[in-house]
């Protein structure tokens, strides 16, 4: 990076850190261009992708036992940030909590976390500190609209189908009723929302200034928009950190700061009229295209070991994002021990080398 560009980015980052507003944060985001995404959790231990609990209908009690094997012994936040910077990336974003509800941060809301696992580590805290040391931005991915573990998230039996979003993957397709699920009626869902809000409060008060909260997956919201208090959730985030940007994929109500479609710039294909309406409000906002170095999945999948994307592919993806005046958020799925896949490491270093040339 040229010295002038470095100084400009450092100044923007410093401005953000001193409680900047949304406009200043967006100015920083537009200059950042390239970020590292990471999907890591107990699903990584099974090496069959981040949707393994749902795809294989693993019962909650059985899946919960994975926590006892989660050590993350080779998760090295400083090395990860160094690798990201070597590739020319300006920010990092990791799954603070994915759809299986396992948390990589210190939380009082559940013991299903890396802190309560044998790892005994707050990986989000470590990554935040490492990113700040290097002058990088930090975002937190949070699965707001899907949870396969929480007792009071909605289920298929409770009206999953709707005219706007016929999407039926809220819970695993168990042969028998899952005994831990207690959702019976719409009013029960508030218990889940209170849980999610408490965790967002923790993420926004434990680690200092955060560049953004990245919510997922939009399909769960499109399936039951009646259950999610989007305005209340966004108001909570902005009250706690006025400069914290909000992304919810292609958008839930149009009040998002930027959009993050998967792979190409397009409205979500499953949201019906609601998706089209929100996309009309959001389509001129900064696009951040998210894509992954594996062929399809985001969490580590062993059968893809020889199919990871190379530097040529990444440079083409960056070129596409430049063409739409957007950012690229490029994902790697850390291995079960928390280290970065050797192929992805080589690819990112090669991308950085070629970009410098």
pLDDT at residue number 248 = 98
In a domain, 74, yes or no: yes
Look at residue 138 in the predicted model and tell me its pLDDT: 98
Residue 64 placed within a domain? yes
- What distances in angstroms separate CA 148 from CA 30, 139, 226, one per listed residue? 34, 23, 19
Q: Is residue 24 part of a domain?
A: no
**What does the pLDDT profile of the chain (357 residues) look like in tens digits?**
444 443 344 444 443 444 568 999 999 999 999 999 999 999 999 999 999 999 999 999 999 999 999 999 999 999 999 999 999 999 999 999 999 999 999 999 999 999 999 999 999 999 999 999 999 999 999 999 999 999 999 986 444 444 444 356 789 989 999 999 999 999 999 999 999 999 999 999 999 999 999 999 999 999 899 999 999 999 999 999 999 999 999 999 999 999 999 999 999 988 889 999 999 999 999 999 999 999 999 999 999 999 999 999 999 999 999 999 999 999 999 999 999 999 999 999 999 999 998
16 part of a folded domain = no
Residue 11 lies in a domain: no
Whole-number pLDDT of residue 269: 86
pLDDT number for residue 155: 86
Kindly report the CATH number assigned to the domain that includes residue 140. Answer: 3.20.20.80
pLDDT for the residue 220: 92
Residue 227 belongs to domain spanning: 32-356
Structural domain total, the chain: 1
Question: Which contacts of 186-192 are long-range, i.e. CB under 8 A and separated by 24 or more positions?
Answer: 186/154, 186/158, 186/226, 186/227, 188/152, 189/152, 189/153, 189/154, 189/227, 190/152, 191/151, 191/152, 192/147, 192/150, 192/152, 192/153
Q: Answer yes or no: is 266 within a domain.
A: yes
> Does residue 123 belong to any structural domain of this protein?
yes
pLDDT (0 to 100) of residue 56: 96
What is residue 45's predicted lDDT score, i.e. its pLDDT? 98
**pTM here?**
0.93
Assigned domain for 1 exists? no
């Amino acid at each position: 990076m040229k010295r002038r560009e470095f100084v400009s980015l450092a100044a923007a980052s410093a401005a953000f850190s001193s409680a900047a507003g949304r406009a200043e944060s967006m100015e920083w985001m537009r200059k950042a261009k390239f970020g590292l995404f990471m999907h890591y959790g107990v699903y990584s231990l099974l090496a069959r992708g981040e949707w393994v609990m749902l795809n294989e209908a693993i019962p909650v009690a059985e899946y919960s036992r994975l926590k006892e094997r989660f050590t993350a012994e080779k998760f090295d936040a400083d090395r990860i940030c160094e690798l990201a910077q070597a590739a020319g990336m300006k920010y990092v974003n990791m799954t603070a909590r994915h759809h299986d509800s396992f948390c990589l941060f210190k939380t009082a809301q559940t013991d299903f976390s890396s802190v309560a696992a044998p790892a005994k580590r707050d990986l989000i805290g470590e990554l935040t500190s490492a990113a700040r040391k290097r002058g990088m931005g930090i975002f937190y991915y949070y699965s707001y609209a899907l949870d396969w573990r929480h007792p009071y998230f909605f289920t298929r039996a409770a009206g999953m189908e709707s005219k706007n979003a016929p999407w039926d993957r809220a819970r695993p397709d168990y042969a028998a009723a899952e005994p831990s699920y207690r959702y019976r009626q719409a009013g029960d869902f508030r218990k889940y929302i209170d849980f999610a809000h408490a965790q967002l409060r923790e993420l926004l008060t434990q680690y200092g200034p955060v560049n953004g909260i990245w919510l997922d997956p939009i399909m769960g919201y499109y399936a039951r928009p009646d259950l999610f208090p989007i305005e209340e959730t966004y108001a909570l985030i902005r009250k706690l950190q006025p400069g914290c940007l909000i992304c919810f994929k292609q958008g839930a109500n149009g009040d998002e700061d930027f959009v993050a479609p998967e792979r190409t710039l397009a409205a979500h294909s499953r949201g019906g009229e609601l998706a089209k309406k929100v996309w009309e409000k959001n389509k001129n906002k900064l696009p951040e295209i998210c894509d992954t170095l594996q062929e399809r999945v985001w969490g580590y999948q062993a059968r893809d070991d020889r199919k990871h994307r190379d530097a040529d592919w990444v440079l083409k993806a960056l070129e596409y994002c430049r063409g739409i005046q957007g950012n690229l958020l490029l994902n790697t799925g850390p291995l079960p021990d928390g280290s970065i896949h050797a192929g992805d490491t080589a690819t990112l270093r090669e991308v950085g080398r070629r970009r410098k040339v």
